[in-house]
């Protein structure tokens, strides 16, 4: 790798990191539930606690939410989190309930939160509603008036959506995902560089063969998939060509790959798709043959690895989607391979996959 390539990897890697924490002096002004968070190394930041999930915190900085390990924070912060977690929370916004709240099923909601994002009306007894993972609620009868983001599952009213939120192949993006969407091959390549570095850390060496990356529409992707008899709701596809040149003394094998990825994916999802496809490239270059649940489950371990280093809320939701995906290969396969990985660790897992290589 030349010095130029090195620099590219480093700078794109830096862009991946979100650093609101700083060593601050003076008095901090607090607004609402916003408070000062102090890391063990003394860095501080103003943020609102949005969620607690296991040993992670999600802090909200304006419109942006970021995930941090709770262990990174001071004893005061731990105390605040314990106190926060002990209170009853709104099923929509996840903030502590006040006296003005309403109970529906097993959850309670702030009155202000307990309303349909399509018609704006509060729900009444007997109303049926749907809720997304972001806390947006909609009347079941008003679902036709709502869009459902193809990336993050957010429900939002069709009425207020801008034209560019419906992509040219009719996929739909919420405002947040649309603002973060990638349509540019150079941007894709800088994300590929980041993911290549992360995968290399667990032993997935970078591809030997050249990869031609293509940002494509849903229809183009489905057409390519059909040609190799693959189906399903794909977001990426890897097609590997193997060339074998035999002379008297030796056989030389070489690979070339085409990787198709949907255009317009938000960066966290694009990271997930690119890492999944890079895992396919790794398997293909080693001639690994295995049932679909092993192959797709293994490739999703690459997505998992990259998403865990991505502190965005969307990355967390995408991991959750893999954990609950009912698909036998992408969901059950992932859970099976993850359970196996936790027993074996990466080096043995990779050795086992290589042992499945088809003999030439
Ligand atoms: Zn609420
Ligand atoms: Zn409604
Ligand atoms: Zn979205
Ligand atoms: Zn796959």
Report helix, strand or coil for 349. Answer: helix
Do 15 and 73 reside in the same domain of the chain? yes
Do 206 and 328 reside in the same domain of the chain? yes
Q: Does residue 96 lie within any of the structural domains?
A: no
Ligand 2 being an ion, which residues bring their Cβ within 5 A of it?
A: 116, 118-119, 139, 142
Cβ–Cβ under 8 Å, residues 173 and 150? yes
Instruction: Locate the DSSP E strands across the chain.
Output: 35-38, 44-53, 56-61, 64-69, 101-104, 107-110, 129-131, 137-139, 146-148, 155-157, 181-182, 210-216, 236-246, 251-262, 265-266
How far, in Å, from the CA of 177 to the mean position of ligand 3?
A: 4
Percent of the chain with pLDDT over 90: 66
Of 179, 195, 217, the one marking the end of a domain is 179
In this structure, what token pair is assigned to residue 261?
């990825």
- Could you tell me the maximum CA-CA distance found in the chain, to the nearest angstrom? 85
Give the tens place of pLDDT for each residue, 340-353: 999 999 999 999 99
Q: Does residue 359 lie within any of the structural domains?
A: no
Confidence of residue 153 (pLDDT cuts 50, 70, 90): very high
How far, in Å, from the CA of 128 to the mean position of ligand 2?
A: 10
How far, in Å, from the CA of 146 to the mean position of ligand 2?
A: 9
CA distance 176 to 317: 14
Q: Does residue 286 lie within any of the structural domains?
A: yes
The CA angle 5-10-16, to the nearest 5 degrees, is: 130
Residue 14 to residues 8, 103, 152, 172, 190, Cα–Cα distance (Å) = 10, 45, 24, 30, 11
Q: Does residue 50 lie within any of the structural domains?
A: yes
The CA angle 211-350-245, to the nearest 5 degrees, is: 45
How far, in Å, from the CA of 60 to the mean position of ligand 1?
A: 15
Say if residue 6's pLDDT is above 80.
no
Give the tens place of pLDDT for each residue, 194-227: 999 999 999 999 999 999 999 999 999 999 999 9
Q: How far is CA 35 from the centre of its chain?
A: 28
Confidence of residue 2 (pLDDT cuts 50, 70, 90): very low
Do 341 and 199 reside in the same domain of the chain? yes
Host domain of residue 23: 3-86
Give the tens place of pLDDT for each residue, 21-75: 665 554 444 445 789 999 998 888 889 998 888 899 999 887 788 999 999 999 9
Of 25, 60, 86, the one marking the end of a domain is 86
- The total domain count for the chain is 3
Q: Does residue 92 lie within any of the structural domains?
A: no
How far, in Å, from the CA of 281 to the mean position of ligand 4?
A: 10
Report helix, strand or coil for 332. Answer: helix
Do 237 and 339 reside in the same domain of the chain? yes
Q: Does residue 65 lie within any of the structural domains?
A: yes
Do 269 and 156 reside in the same domain of the chain? no
How far, in Å, from the CA of 152 to the mean position of ligand 3?
A: 4
Do 109 and 207 reside in the same domain of the chain? no
In this structure, what token pair is assigned to residue 66?
């970021």
Q: Does residue 173 lie within any of the structural domains?
A: yes
Which residues on neighbouring strands pair with residue 260, listed in sequence order? 214, 237
Do 198 and 331 reside in the same domain of the chain? yes
In this structure, what token pair is assigned to residue 303?
């997505």
Give the tens place of pLDDT for each residue, 217-258: 999 999 999 998 888 789 999 999 998 888 888 888 899 999
What pLDDT does residue 15 have?
Answer: 36
Do 64 and 211 reside in the same domain of the chain? no
Say if residue 158's pLDDT is above 80.
yes
Give the tens place of pLDDT for each residue, 254-310: 999 999 999 999 999 999 999 999 999 999 999 999 999 999 999 999 999 999 999
Cβ–Cβ under 8 Å, residues 253 and 242? yes
Q: What is the DSSP letter of 187?
A: H
What pLDDT does residue 21 have?
Answer: 65
Confidence of residue 19 (pLDDT cuts 50, 70, 90): low
How far, in Å, from the CA of 148 to the mean position of ligand 1?
A: 21
CA distance 199 to 205: 7
Give the tens place of pLDDT for each residue, 78-111: 999 999 889 888 888 888 888 888 888 788 899 9
CA distance 283 to 269: 21
Mean pLDDT (the chain) is 89
In this structure, what token pair is assigned to residue 173?
């993006």
């Amino acid at each position: 790798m030349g010095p130029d390539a090195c620099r590219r990897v480093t700078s794109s890697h830096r862009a991946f990191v979100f650093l609101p924490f700083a060593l601050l002096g003076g008095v901090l002004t607090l607004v609402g539930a916003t408070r000062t968070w102090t890391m063990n190394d003394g860095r501080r930041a103003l943020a609102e606690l949005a969620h607690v999930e296991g040993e992670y915190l999600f802090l909200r900085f304006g419109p942006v939410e970021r995930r941090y390990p709770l262990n990174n924070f001071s004893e005061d912060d731990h105390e605040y989190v314990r106190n926060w977690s002990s209170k009853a929370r709104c099923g929509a916004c996840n903030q502590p309930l006040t006296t003005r709240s309403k109970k529906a099923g097993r959850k309670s909601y702030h009155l202000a939160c307990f309303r349909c994002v399509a018609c704006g009306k509060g729900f009444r007894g007997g109303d049926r509603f749907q809720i997304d993972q972001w806390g947006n609620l909609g009347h079941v009868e008003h679902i036709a008036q709502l869009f459902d983001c193809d990336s993050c599952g957010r429900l939002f009213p069709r009425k207020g959506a801008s034209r560019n939120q419906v992509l040219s192949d009719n996929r739909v993006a919420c405002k947040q995902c649309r603002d973060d969407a990638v349509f540019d091959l150079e941007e894709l390549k800088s994300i590929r560089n980041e993911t290549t570095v992360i995968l290399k850390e667990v032993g997935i060496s970078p591809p030997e063969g050249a990869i031609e990356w293509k940002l494509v529409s849903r229809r183009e992707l489905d057409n390519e998939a059909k040609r190799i008899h693959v189906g399903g709701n794909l977001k990426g596809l890897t097609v590997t060509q193997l060339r074998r040149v035999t002379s008297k003394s030796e056989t030389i094998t070489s690979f070339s790959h085409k990787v198709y990825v949907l255009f317009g994916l938000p960066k966290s999802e694009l990271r997930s798709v690119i890492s999944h496809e890079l895992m396919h490239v790794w398997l293909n270059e080693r001639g690994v043959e295995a049932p679909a649940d092993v192959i797709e489950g293994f490739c999703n371990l690459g997505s998992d690895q990259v998403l865990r280093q991505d502190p965005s809320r969307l990355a967390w939701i995408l991991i959750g989607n893999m954990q609950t995906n009912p698909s036998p290969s992408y969901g059950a396969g992932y859970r099976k391979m993850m359970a196996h990985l936790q027993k074996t660790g990466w080096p043995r897992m990779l050795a086992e996959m290589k042992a499945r290589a088809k003999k030439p």
